[in-house]
Amino acid sequence: MIDCLLSAIEKYGILVSPLPSGIVLPDMKDLPFYEVVLEKRDDGAYLVTGNIKHFPKEPFVVTPRGSNTPPLCSATNLMPRCL
């Protein structure tokens, strides 16, 4: 199962090397996610989080319930069958 997951990440993942933002977040472990979204904003990236208070108030930082954007795909469409 782990091999299947890693294979899907390699196949569908996008390598992003974001520039440092200089932003200080309440939980600095969230910074890599925020910086990747900043780097990919031109592609329409959103940061979907359950901890919206941990991020600056920006239109691209949304909760799963608060997002008005339809999902581009579902996890079931992305994950190959590995049985």
**pLDDT, mean of each 10-residue run, the chain (83 residues):** 89 92 95 95 91 92 74 47 50
Cβ–Cβ under 8 Å, residues 33 and 21: no
Contacts of 18 (CB under 8 A, 6+ apart): 32, 35, 36, 38, 39
Global pTM value: 0.70
Nearest to 52 by CA among 75, 34, 70, 74: 34
